Amino acid sequence: MKTGNRACVTGDDFRNSPPVDHVGIVERAERFTTRSIKSITKRAGLNMVLNMIDLTTLEGADTPNKVRQLCYKAEHLHDSILGLPSTAAVCVFPPFVKTAREALGDNSLVKIASVATYFPSGHTTLKSKLEETRRAVSDGADEIDMVISRGRFLSGDYNYVFDEIAAVKEACGDARLKVILETGELATLDNVRRASDIAIHAGGDFIKTSTGKIASAATIPITLVMLLAIRDHYAKTGKMVGMKPAGGISKSKLALHYLVMVKETLGEQWLTNEWFRFGASSLANDVLMQVAKLESGHYQAAHYFSKD
Amino acid sequence: MKRIEVLKTYKLYIGGKFPRTESGRYYTPEGRGGKVLGNICQGSRKDFRNAVVAARSVAGGWGKRDPYNRSQILYRIAEMLEGRAAQFEDELKQHGSTAAAARKELQVAVDQCIYYAGWCDKYQQTFSSVNPVASAHFNFSVYQPMGVVAVFAPEKSALAGLLGTILPIIAGGNACVVLASESKPLCAITLAEVLATSDLPGGVINILTGNRDELLDNVSTHMDVNAIVASDLTDAHKAAIKANATHNLKRVIIRKEDPAKSESPYPILATQEIKTTWHPIESSIAAGSGY
């Protein structure tokens, strides 16, 4: 898919990214959790959440069969409930992209996302990162999730980070690029904002909070800071950038809070899986349990839902 | 100057914590002489749901715990209960008991804890069986906890009846969610404070107060509840529970005997599954002289 966001030379000095009002952000984030969402609206919201999930398996123990199972689950979330959407994508390690493509075929609604650039640490040469990206794309990945070099970022080498993202974007070709900031390692909201600005300017189609591999993952305040960076970019250039919070979102209620935040911060345009995703593995089942509760009136038990 | 007495806020007990009901509702049951007992939380279906989540998350660990350790913890409950004897007796009197009856009920309650503490590490070897089979197999049946048990506590016996109902359940390694007596809730709330200081992992026993009619359907249809133990049900309640329980084949146990007088191991077995296992063996008789 061709997308608008290309690396641009803006002359921006990323040291001048706007500072973030930590207290204000936290308080604003708190307010998103107080909306009352009931019955039909809730059901619509839950369907939307399902349709925005990047169903993920990024374990050392992954096998081709696990990936096939995941692909099946992405298209058949819970067949006993009618009218459920498929998930937005499956997210796998590069060696499993071929398997996923075979399992899904070429016409699936489910996209294939692959982490590349030596996920999750990113510690390797630029050459190998580009090689891994090209291979994943040629194997059939629609989307690439890259990690930024946090070490370089934290030592102030912003140009290196920018150039690296731009190079990976070029290697992606038509595949969309999601840039993982790994906010849990960036220490401050100011840094999150700065990294977001760099990723957006360097050509990221999506910015993504976390790898899900460290304890501190996506939170509402961090996501809000990133959404504000997207909003400012949109106001300035008219170009949309997507958002993907990942890790730590496992309850449907929390996912609905995120949707509220996206709508109230960026507007309805972003409420599609073209522009907003959840990176999650256990969220889907919790949402399915809530949908089943709405349908049947009975509270559900986890063991009635397939694990993968 | 006259001192203003500090009144207690009565709360629920879920997952080892004391939250207010998420619904913000309360009711005001009356005790002896029409005196209002307090503002008691009227728990909602969402409180129940949260309690089941809490119970489920610890049920596995509690069931796998060394039975001897479960026994020690039940004994500890007895110790803490005895230490609060005066408070329980006072609450029983507020609920309408005479001083003598209150004293007696407290003693029975403590003794029940000791009784079931003793059974924790004994029911398995007493009631498991080695089964005769016509092949070279060792075939045996053992008891396993069911998981999460919902309890409608006895309406009339606020302390001994409550403990006589829940002790056999947890002695057998289950976790439970209890709806306390609606008209006599004080002892259940104080019992929660005892449990919180008894080394019992949070979530093994969860105590809600509220209206039985209102919660009956949600409790009995919940797909993550494995069994229901109930006392003092009306016929309509019994029928509703049994019908609702079919959704996930819950076991429904309606206590016929007075749980307040419960000193029997059989209530432990009521909330156990039986697992039967085959293991191939060489028959020493068929093996001949080589043995």
Question: Which pairing describes strands B137-145 and B272-280: parallel, antiparallel, or unpaired?
Answer: antiparallel
Which residue in chain B has the smallest CA separation from A290?
Answer: B49
Confidence of residue B173 (pLDDT cuts 50, 70, 90): very high
- Contact call for A298 and B247, based on CB within 8 A: yes
Instruction: Say how far apart CA A306 and CA A87 lie, in whole Å.
Output: 15
Domain, as residue range, for B242: 26-282
Rounded to the nearest angstrom, the minimum Cα separation between B45 and chain A is 10
Domain presence at residue B18: no
Domain presence at residue B288: no
Asked about A145 being catalytic, the answer comes back as yes
CATH number, residue B50: 3.40.605.10
Q: Are A71 and A62 in contact (CB under 8 A)?
A: no
Domain presence at residue B39: yes
Tell whether the model's pLDDT for residue A4 goes beyond 60.
Answer: no
Q: Quick one: pLDDT at residue B257?
A: 84
Domain presence at residue B271: yes
Cβ-based burial of B90 (10 A; exposed 0-12, middle 13-18, buried ≥19): middle
Tell whether the model's pLDDT for residue A3 goes beyond 50.
Answer: no
Q: Is B25 an 8 Å CB contact of chain A?
A: no
Q: Quick one: pLDDT at residue B275?
A: 96
pLDDT in tens, B128-165: 999 999 988 899 999 999 999 999 999 999 999 999 99
Q: At what angle do helices A126-139 and A158-172 cross, to 10 degrees?
A: 30
Best of A299, A304, A305 to mutate (most B CBs within 10 Å, chain B): A299
Domain presence at residue B208: yes
Domain presence at residue B10: no
Confidence of residue B258 (pLDDT cuts 50, 70, 90): confident
Backbone torsions φ then ψ of B47, nearest 5 degrees: -60, -40
The number of folded domains in chain B is: 1
Q: Quick one: pLDDT at residue A2?
A: 44
Question: Which pairing describes strands A206-208 and A176-180: parallel, antiparallel, or unpaired?
Answer: parallel
Instruction: Say how far apart CA B102 and CA B190 lie, in whole Å.
Output: 15
pLDDT in tens, A26-39: 999 999 999 999 88
For B172-198, what is the mean pLDDT?
97
Rounded to the nearest angstrom, the minimum Cα separation between A257 and chain B is 18
Tell whether the model's pLDDT for residue B17 goes beyond 90.
Answer: yes
Domain presence at residue B162: yes
Q: Quick one: pLDDT at residue A26?
A: 96
Domain presence at residue B5: no
Which domains can be identified in chain A, with CATH numbers? 14-304 (3.20.20.70)
Alpha-carbon Rg for chain B in angstroms: 21
Tell whether the model's pLDDT for residue B103 goes beyond 90.
Answer: yes
